[in-house]
Structure 1
Amino acid sequence: MNSIASRSRQKGLSFIGLVFLVAVLVAVVGIGSQSLPVFLEYQAAVKAANKAAAEGSTVAEVRASFDRAAAIDDIKSVSGSELHVTKVNDKVVVGFEYSREIHLAGPAYLVYRFKK
């Protein structure tokens, strides 16, 4: 009887629980390490689009400015020709849309869709 009572008071993580926790952590780190460059590229594209909108007054100038910044920041997901350039109250507004896929395993992909 005493061994049953001591087992019920034991606390901690079982081996199977530890294996499950490690598997989840490996998956999170693996996906995160592949996702980080995608988000950094998006932030660079937003920065380049805002800079292009501030520098250019025509569609051609905005696209050329974005392409120059894209070459420096190594932005490959969107180019100047894919920008949506409009004017709102005499202010140039630049937007874009694109998606990036990360291959996980087999037929599984993680798709990120970005829109500014």
Structure 2
Amino acid sequence: MRVGMSAKAAHRGFSLGGFLFVIIIVALLAVLGMKVVPTVIEYAAIKKAIVTAKNAGTTPREIQDSFEKQRTTAYIDSVTGKDLEIVKTGDGYDVSVAYQKKIELVGPASLVLDYEASTAPGSAGKSVQ
């Protein structure tokens, strides 16, 4: 006598409910990604702009002006030249900036991203609250 599988045990895979659940989760992650990725791209542009501004200027005002020129061409909206913290060091200036981006999700829920960028060695990062 041959031992076989029952008709129910032979059918395996996702049910319609399981498939819809997976699709909903993937869609939510995609929407979240579409909201977060532009802020990360802007952060990268800000980091690049403060390094370029530091190298282009010899005074705090020149550094701010250089950053402002780059800001208009790099589509940087979160930070202005006045937001830069410029500190005199032994070999020039260190430029840093810190700002928050608030991303509205659903109703009262939102995501707050804290961004920090600096030209000082070993100090730059980003955190999520």
SS of equivalent to 2:79: coil
Q: What is the Cα deviation at residue 91 of structure 1? A: 3.5
Residue 6 of structure 2 aligns to a residue whose secondary structure is helix
**AA of the residue aligned to 1:36:** V
Percent identity of equivalent pairs: 29
Whether the aligned pair in 2 keeps the contact of 1:54 and 1:92 (CA below 8 Å) is no
Query: Alpha-carbon deviation of 1:58?
Result: 1.2
- Give the alignment's TM-score, normalised by structure 2: 0.81
* TM-fit CA distance, 1:90: 0.4
Give the structure 1 partner of residue 107 of structure 2.
106
The alignment's TM-score, normalised by the length of structure 1, stands at: 0.90
Deviation at 1:92, TM superposition (A): 2.2
1:77 alignment partner in structure 2 = 78
RMSD in angstroms over aligned alpha carbons?
1.7
Show structure 1 runs of 5+ residues with no match: none
Alignment of 1:63-74 (within 5 A): 63-74=64-75
State how many pairs are aligned: 114
| Between 48-57 and 5-14, the greater mean CA deviation after superposition | 5-14
Which runs of 4 or more aligned residues in structure 1 lie more than 4 Å from their structure 2 counterparts after TM superposition?
none
- How much does 1:89 deviate? 3.4
Tell me the distance in 2 between the aligned counterparts of 1:101 and 1:110: 6
Tell me which residue corresponds to 1:45.
46
Counterpart-to-counterpart distance in 2, 1:43 and 1:23: 30
CA-to-partner distance for each residue in 1:8-61, whole Å, 9 max, x for gaps?
343211111111100011101111111121111111111100100111121111
Structure 2: runs of 5 or more not aligned = 118-129
Query: Going by fraction, where is helix more abundant, 1 or 2?
Result: 1
Q: Structure 2: how far apart are the matches of 1:107 and 1:76?
A: 24
1:12 aligns with 2:6: no
